[in-house]
Structure 1
Amino acid sequence: MTIVFDPFCGVSGDMILSSLLDLFPERRDDVISKLENLGRLLGIELKIKLEEVKRGGIPGKLLVIESDAMRIDNPMEMLRTFSKLCSTMNFPEKISKTGRRILLRIFEAESRAHGVEMRRLHLHETGDIDTQIEVIGTLILLEDESEVYSTPISIGKGYVRTEHGLMPVPTPATAQIMLKSAHKFRLGPVEGELATPTGVAILSEIARPIPDSMSFNPTRIGHGAGSMELKEIPNLLRAYLLSHEKEEILYMVETSIDDVTPEILSKVQEDLGSISLDVYLLPTLMKKGRLGHTLKCLVEGTKLREAIEKIFESTGTLGVRYYSVKREKLEREEVKLNIPIGERKFKVRFKVSYLPSGRRQIKAEYDDLKRISDEVGLPIRIVKEEAERIARKEIR
């Protein structure tokens, strides 16, 4: 499933959730019911409605959250509450981990903006129950292995009145989130605040910047409405559901270096491996005949900024190149089998992939083969041949 958000008039947490509820009407009642159950767990009154409104003559869905919950003004308490809700509701681990990262983006940005340690921070609007509802609801709707992209985010311009007085747009907290985001931002198109900290934090965590080279065919469109009616532009967030494509857009990040020792390069490669789909070193003949290496790593859009910063910090290079690349994947699945080797049986994982012709490929996982080879004292080549021979018979 591939989704593209188009925040042409900004973004907020409620607009993201309402656009997805509009995009997936068949899941609307179930998701709202789950979210209202969170109120019962917290012992509060919580009512969630999705109202049909028009913005600039275009229909959209407005999320309305009614609650008697007290605002949580401490970030650590809010993180504990969030984890408790996810655990009690038996949400998948991915929802809990991604949700915590979103909240940490917000709290760390607020901390930097106000010059206060996070544990001493006093939350304002982001301490409302609405923030947790918007994060959890969004992640429930995206809990499948979704590929999510976003066009550049409009942030508004001018000034906005806050509890601290008149602030420039983007507000300090939103600006701090932008600094750590891989997305592109644009001022306007109207006066006022269009992008909230929660909205920018959610998109920064779940979505990749849409590459200029990406084309798509939408099959559905959802509209999430902002609370204000603007004269100049429809106050809506668009969400597109795309037809399934085998092709995906990734980023290649690289730098050429000739003054880093092999030991350090090995550690850099290891560190990048935790955030990269692939990472490798190529021998390079540089200017003036100097021998060096080109370090290359393939990353998803959400990891682009982290990869660039890690390369700068770890290598001392003065420049990093990156560019979008297309990758097409074969359909694949993982199958686990108990394979007899000698007098014992071992659990082995197999990657089963399908060529465009329909032919099947079966490949045993190296780590499992190595473990068996070490235990039984057979060459890994023999273990591989026997395991894959049995798998070809058993996997249908």
Structure 2
Amino acid sequence: MNILLFDPFNGAAGDMIIGTLLDLGADEEPVRAAMRSVVGEPTIERVDRSGIRAVQVKTHAPVDHRTLDEVLDRVAGSDAPVPARDMARRVFLRIHRAEEAIHGPGAHFHEVGADDAVADVVGACTALYSLGVDGVAVLPVALGRGFAIGAHGTFPIPAPATVAILSASDLQTVSGNEERELCTPTGAALLAEFSTVRSEDLGSRTIRAVGYGAGSRNPAGRPNVLRSMLVATAEEATGDRVDILETNVDDVTGEALAYTIGCLMEEGARDASAIPLVMKKGRSGHLVRVVCRPDATDSLVGVMARELGTLGIRCIPMVHRSVAERTVEAVTVAIRGREWMIDVKCGWSGKKITSFKAEYEQAAACARETGVPFREVAGAVEAAARRVFVERGVLAP
């Protein structure tokens, strides 16, 4: 497997993550386009940090604080690929949960709601997507120590938001040797979202490439950089590691089940389902099953307990999941005399497409606006996709 391994020995921030991924080989033009679409043209250049050449990224963004909805709207309207936009959305939901845990419900973003943070998150997610790795691992994150000044006045380092984000992940930390903030909330949220493999589970590996991302400061005698490595491991099966959460319920309405499944997906579940079953004494019930990344287990267990009132949730930890290669292809289709461009999610085996499906939200928006039934819109999109894929030779006639 090709694994991206982050080594945040001197902490991490959003701009450092973009820089190290670009230095590692991420495609620069999509990253520029994604960042440009939310703020403006970034500056990307090579600099020296204590003798180490590293890539520095500057967004040149104004400091405008925004609400969660405003931030998510900017992410949704960006030119990042759909999977990168989805990942960026999850990053900001992580940050929002941390902000609310500290400041209470309805909390506004502060430093992490500024435009430069939006550009950093969108750019970092696009860079990761372009690398196409099989998994991501993170070595212990250096946090720093001391005190700093923020929107609420003086705060301890690491910042409360950083601590809250990391406490909801399985990332390991170290204090570091500097009296300053080494890991920012944005950096913590990105690393937590990216991580799919525990670094201690990697075993032996071969380093294939190394990248360095520069921080804005250049202290004497210490390289202010984030290192990343592309490593090859002995495991050949493609996929990732997931937890499976299960519970049986017999006193929950269909509406409550539907609402709970929606909440679980919003909280980062990979999949969530409710399966009808017959329980003891012949009672009808449901098996609620959730597939999630290990770092999301605790928060999703909380959702299940809160919404379902269940007293016990089974956790089957760290199951290997084989994952087909997936891409998103844009297809143009005519609906009621108007051309629509709708994404189609494709599954691949080798160089052939094995499955494809119209993206639900886009097809639903088309159906609502045109008055055409959703099933007809989805059918038209998938028929158009089939013609395109057959012509390309990636789908059997």
Q: Is 1:113–1:173's contact at 8 Å kept on the other side of the alignment?
A: yes
2:136 corresponds to: 149
How far apart are the structure 2 equivalents of 1:108 and 1:269? 18
Q: Is 2:7–2:138's contact at 8 Å kept on the other side of the alignment?
A: yes
Residue 170 (str. 1) matches residue 158 (str. 2): yes
Q: Which letter maps to 2:91?
A: I
Shift of 1:147: 4.5
Q: Is 1:211–1:249's contact at 8 Å kept on the other side of the alignment?
A: no
Superposition TM-score, scaled by structure 1 size: 0.64
Q: How does 1:32-51 map to 2 (within 5 A)?
A: 34=33, 37=36, 47-51=43-47
Q: Is 1:79–1:103's contact at 8 Å kept on the other side of the alignment?
A: no
Shift of 1:298: 2.8
Change (3 A) 1:324 1:50: same
Q: Is 2:31–2:126's contact at 8 Å kept on the other side of the alignment?
A: no
Change (3 A) 1:187 1:282: farther
Q: Which letter maps to 2:210?
A: I
2:370 corresponds to: none
1:208-237 Cα offsets, whole Å, 9 max, x none, are 352643445442121223335486x75432
Q: Is 1:75–1:107's contact at 8 Å kept on the other side of the alignment?
A: no
Tell me the matched-pair count: 345
Shift of 1:199: 0.5
Which of 301, 304, 314 pairs up with 1:308?
301
1:342-389 Cα offsets, whole Å, 9 max, x none, are xxxxxxx9998759xx9x997899xxxxx89xxxxxxxxxxxxxxxxx
Shift of 1:174: 1.7
Q: How does 1:104-115 map to 2 (within 5 A)?
A: 104-107=93-96, 109-110=98-99, 112-115=101-104
The DSSP-based 3-state class of the residue aligned with 1:251 is strand
Q: Which letter maps to 2:22?
A: L
The DSSP-based 3-state class of the residue aligned with 1:136 is helix
The DSSP-based 3-state class of the residue aligned with 2:188 is helix
Q: Is 2:37–2:79's contact at 8 Å kept on the other side of the alignment?
A: no
Instruction: Percent identity, please.
Output: 22
Which of 51, 54, 70 pairs up with 1:79?
70
Which of 317, 325, 331 pairs up with 1:323?
317
Q: Is 1:53–1:225's contact at 8 Å kept on the other side of the alignment?
A: yes
1:221 corresponds to: 210
Q: Is 2:243–2:292's contact at 8 Å kept on the other side of the alignment?
A: yes
The DSSP-based 3-state class of the residue aligned with 2:12 is coil
Shift of 1:264: 9.1
How far apart are the structure 2 equivalents of 1:238 and 1:364? 37
Shift of 1:53: 2.5
Q: Which letter maps to 2:161?
A: A
Which of 118, 129, 136 pairs up with 1:132?
118
Shift of 1:246: 3.3
Shift of 1:143: 3.3
Q: Is 1:20–1:222's contact at 8 Å kept on the other side of the alignment?
A: yes
Shift of 1:322: 4.0
294-303 vs 317-326, which moves further: 294-303
Shift of 1:201: 1.8
Shift of 1:197: 0.9
2:14 corresponds to: 13
Q: How does 1:281-360 map to 2 (within 5 A)?
A: 296-301=289-294, 303-320=296-313, 321-329=315-323
Residue 395 (str. 1) matches residue 369 (str. 2): no
Q: Is 1:155–1:169's contact at 8 Å kept on the other side of the alignment?
A: no
Q: Is 2:242–2:321's contact at 8 Å kept on the other side of the alignment?
A: no
Which of 208, 211, 219 pairs up with 2:196?
208
2:172 corresponds to: 185
Q: Is 2:22–2:55's contact at 8 Å kept on the other side of the alignment?
A: no
Change (3 A) 1:322 1:189: farther
Shift of 1:137: 1.9
Which of 195, 205, 213 pairs up with 2:183?
195
The DSSP-based 3-state class of the residue aligned with 1:143 is helix
| Structure number with larger C-alpha Rg | 1
How far apart are the structure 2 equivalents of 1:86 and 1:361? 27
How far apart are the structure 2 equivalents of 1:351 and 1:64? 33
Q: Which letter maps to 2:240?
A: I
How far apart are the structure 2 equivalents of 1:269 and 1:77? 21
How far apart are the structure 2 equivalents of 1:364 and 1:51? 44
Which of 223, 226, 229 pairs up with 1:240?
229
